[in-house]
Chain A
Amino acid sequence: MQAFGSLVAKYQDRIYNMILRMCGRAADAEELTQDTFLRALERIGQFTGRSEFYTWLFRVAANLTISHKRRSMRIRFQTLDPDEARSGTQADSLTAAVAAQRDPPPQAAAMASETRQRVLEALEALDDEFRLVVVLCDVEQMDYAQAADVIGVPVGTVKSRLHRARWALKEKLADLVA
């Protein structure tokens, strides 16, 4: 159990962040992160060691998240509070403290917040299969082979999906990209 605890401690932030970027809601991300580790514990027997453990863990997380999204497709909740996802975390307090120290101009802060919100919305508009590739490759900065391992598709598929996803994002964020 100690070994499992160390795995949780090591990967919880990455898994949580990945799921959050996939599902967009902090509450769901928390729940799905918990489910991911519990599912991993249950199915650890399926981990054969042919792939890296963390890619296997990410695969569990991705499958759970996509299943969750499909289940809740009919009822979608859209947060009106852009900071909802960040509330109550240690990272949040730390970020707030650093931000307070820097004391950026209110205008710049508002712009950064707006940009972030735009990117998140553009990301959310992607279909799950494209969004997952973007999250893995750009947010988690995995290489194509790792992403392919997580998703369970050939590397060529990752390459193709990532290109199409970026293309769609670029179209949506044209004014920011220019």
Chain B
Amino acid sequence: MSENEKKFEQLSAYLDGELTAAEAKRVEEALRRDESLAEELAALRATRDLVRNLPRQGAPEDLADRVMAQAERLTLVGARGGEQAGRPMRWVRYVAAAAVVVVAVGMGLIIKSTMDATRQGRRHVVKKETPSTAPEVATRTEGEPHKREAREKFAAKDADAERRLAAKPAPGKEATGMPPAPGEAGEKAVAETEKLDAKKELPVEPTVVAKPAAPLVADKAAPSDESTALARKAAKPEIEAAKGKLAEADEDKQLAALLANARSYRIDAVDLPRNRAALKDEVETVLRNNGLEPLTFADDRQRATTQARHGGYFYAKADEKKVQIWTVVGRDQVPELLKQLSRTQMNQVAFAYKNVAAVAPAGVAAKAGAGVRGGEAQPAATAPGAGYGAKAAPAPSREAPEGQAQVARADRGAEAAEDLAAQQVEQAVRRRDQVGGMKAEEVEPPATRPVEAVASKVAEEAVVQRALPQITLRQWEFARQVMSQQRDQGLLGADVEPLVIELNFVPPEPAADITATMNEAALRVKQDAAESTAPNAPASEPPTAPANKAND
């Protein structure tokens, strides 16, 4: 850099205030001395200001929405081809590349050892070659006629060599006993014969090949080779499991799980502020396309009453903070509906109510207060605090048996969990009775049925644990918070403990989760590999699925 150029560079930095005090002082002195330098500074300042004064362009209005929608899609469908997914795959590729190198070295050693063995026992090998190699050669050369021809040619030459060797007076004197081909020609013939023999030894004499080769490989490269192979084997399911966990599985599976445990659904679409109205329109369009006409209700009571008298309805509205879509539609309609909704551009939180007091007919609502064992429903009118069911006008009695039957069907899948929960509750009550000397009914008012409420809660959590391995503790807590708010607002009965399912809701700290998962996966792979290479270690087993955190 010339002196002049350096001076101008200092001038530019001076303009930006990026010089030290001493440097700035020197520049100022130079500016005082040199007018042209001052003019240069003015020109630089004018140039900088021209660029600075360019109008700032804001991002388009809907850019944030699009980014968020894509981010959600990426996270939901696991379409991330990026770093988190790519890092382990690259690691596997590196391991695979290392394995190839190790295998190549091992093969080289095998060939070398085979050639050595050939030199020592060529006659033995050649004699055994003919009967045992025929099928193997056929197998190996299948589909490669030119190789087969070459092998046949080699075999013919070997036969000649064998005849010559058989004619020799004593073994171990091949060099001197060769036909009269002295000098280089003779050495070539020996070398060629050796090459041909070496080529055939691999399939011909497995014991000869394997025995010297195995120790060589084991001595020099066995640990890395073996551990590499094991690591690769172990890494695949581990990484797949991690990816699956991160991708939150696919929508259809979640919908199936949701359907298996719920009879009615509520979806809170917590959308971005800007597109709320558009989202409501979109959701209503989806619903209409499914043959569901929008209804409006004066209040929750009217809604519950209407719902009790009809097979199903939906209700959609956009309030200040979110779009709410209530659906209590036929089960056959729900899957497609949810599937479509889940593909809209929004965060989705779906709550599936196992106890359907909030939105179900009175006969069903009664069960929510009465406990979880099928057929134990109370009459709606006597079920205290049974949410909408209690607030609504009593449903026609003819609907109660149907509601009970529906509940029984819905709960059938959860019977095992309920039995377990009931046992746990009974044990807890027995312990409490022993300790406190009081019966449950003396402690709590009978109307609230605390034992059954606890049973219900335990059973629900058991169902969640069983049916929704993907749900996270944070999601569970989030949903519970929402439910608590709704209860405070009087939208839910105090004794209604909903089974909560959160669909496609992505935790906000993916990096930590991903890093932890990947670290965990890497450590487990490493550990598995170490255990597998240990003496008498059992073969590595596929790793277990990530632990369910729902009820940690």
Measured between beta carbons, the chain A residues less than 8 angstroms from B347 are 1
Contacts A1-B347, A12-B63 known; A46 to B57 CB distance under 8 Å?
A: no
Report the stretch among B47-55, B160-168, B317-325, B379-387 that lies at the interface.
Answer: B47-55
State whether the Cβ of B64 lies closer than 8 Å to any Cβ in chain A: yes
Q: Mark A142-154, 1 if CB is under 8 A from B, else 0.
A: 0110000000000
CB contacts under 8 Å to B, within A23-50, are: 26, 29-30, 33-34, 37-39, 41-47
Q: What is the predominant secondary structure among interface residues of chain B facing chain A?
A: helix
Q: Which residues of B contact A134 (CB under 8 A)?
A: 51
Residues of B within 8 A of A166 (CB): 12, 44, 47-48
**For residues 504 through 519 of chain B, which have their beta carbon under 8 Å from a beta carbon of chain A?**
505-511, 514-515
The total number of A-B Cβ pairs within 8 Å is 155
By beta carbon, the residue of chain A nearest B63 is A12
Q: How far is it, in angstroms, between the C-alpha of A13 and the C-alpha of B52 when the chains are bound?
A: 16
Tell me whether A1 and B82 are in contact in the complex, defined as CB-CB below 8 angstroms, given that A13-B56, A163-B12 are known contacts.
no
Assess A160 versus B9: contact at CB under 8 Å? Given A5-B64, A42-B83.
Answer: yes
User: A17: which B residues are within 8 A, CB to CB?
Assistant: 56-59
CB < 8 Å neighbour of B70 from A16, A38, A45, A91? A38
The residues of A that contact B57 with a CB separation of less than 8 Å are 13, 16-17, 20, 26, 29, 85-86, 89, 91
Q: What chain B residues lie within 8 Å of A123 (beta carbons)?
A: 51
CA distance A122 to B80 in the complex (A): 38
B109 on interface, CB distance cutoff 8 Å = no
Of A15, A21, A42, A169, chain B has the most CB atoms within 10 Å of the CB of A42
Q: From B40, which residue of chain A is reached at the shortest CB distance?
A: A170
Given the contacts A12-B64, A33-B63, A169 and B51 also touching, CB distance less than 8 Å: yes
**Contact A47–B511 (Cβ < 8 Å):** yes
Any chain B CB within 8 A of the CB of A162? yes
Report which of B1, B8, B18, B511 forms a contact with A167, defined as CB distance below 8 A: B8
Which residue of chain B lies nearest to A162 when distances are taken between CB atoms in the complex? B12
Q: Any chain B CB within 8 A of the CB of A173?
A: yes
Is the CB of B66 closer than 8 A to any CB of chain A? yes
Neighbour of B67 across the interface among A20, A37, A160, A177, CB < 8 A: A37
Residue of B nearest to A91 (CB): B58
B82 touches A139 (CB 8 A): no
Would you call B55 and A4 a contact (CB within 8 A)?
no
Per-residue A-contact encoding for B496-508, CB less than 8 Å = 1, 0 else = 0000000001111
Q: Could you say which of A42, A120, A176 contacts B84, with CB atoms under 8 Å apart?
A: A42
Does B61 sit within 8 A of A, measured CB to CB?
yes
Instruction: Report if B416 contacts A (CB, 8 A).
Output: no
Contact of A115 among B50, B63, B505 (CB under 8 A): B50
Q: Which chain B residues lie closer than 8 Å to A8 at the CB level?
A: 64, 67-68
Chain B hits for A160, CB < 8 A: 1, 9
Contact among A2, A13, A41, A178 with B510 in the assembled complex (CB-CB below 8 Å): A41
Known A91-B56, A116-B54, A144-B18; judge A1-B61 contact (CB<8 A).
Answer: no
Contacts of B74 in A (CB 8 A): 38, 41-42
In Å, the complex CA distance between A178 and B43 comes to 7
Q: Encode A61-102 as 1/0 by CB contact (under 8 A) with B.
A: 000000000000000000000000110111100010000000
Do A119 and B63 touch (CB < 8 A)? no
Cα–Cα, bound, A163→B50 (Å): 15
Partner of B48 from the list A45, A85, A95, A138 (CB cut-off 8 Å) is A138
* Interfacial chain B residues near A57, Cβ < 8 Å: none
A22 at the interface (CB under 8 A from B): no
Determine the interface band of chain A, counting residues with CB < 8 A from chain B. 35 or more
Closest CB of chain A to B67's CB: distance in Å? Answer: 5
In contact, A4 and B63 (Cβ under 8 angstroms):
no
**B23-65 vs A: 1/0 string, CB under 8 Å?**
0000000000000000000011011101110111111110110
Closest to A174 in B: B43
8 Å CB contact of A173 from B47, B60, B63, B514: B47
Chain A residues positioned under 8 Å from B144 (CB to CB)? none
Chain A residue at minimum C-beta to C-beta distance from B85: A42
Q: Are A45 and B64 in contact (CB under 8 A)?
A: no
A-B contact pairs, 29 of them (CB 8 A): A1-B507, A2-B508, A8-B64, A12-B59, A13-B56, A16-B59, A33-B59, A37-B71, A38-B71, A41-B71, A42-B80, A42-B83, A42-B84, A43-B82, A44-B511, A85-B57, A88-B60, A89-B58, A90-B58, A90-B61, A91-B58, A116-B55, A119-B51, A138-B51, A143-B18, A160-B1, A163-B12, A170-B47, A177-B43
**A-B residue pairs, 3 tightest by C-beta:** A42-B82, A91-B58, A16-B59
**Chain B residues within 8 Å of A, Cβ to Cβ:** 1, 8-9, 11-13, 16, 18, 43-44, 46-48, 50-52, 54-61, 63-64, 66-68, 70-72, 74-75, 80, 82-84, 272, 347, 505-511, 514-515
Additional A-B contacts beyond A15-B59, A44-B510 (18; CB < 8 A): A1-B505, A1-B506, A1-B507, A9-B64, A16-B59, A30-B60, A30-B63, A42-B84, A88-B60, A90-B58, A119-B51, A143-B16, A160-B9, A163-B11, A163-B13, A169-B47, A177-B46, A177-B47
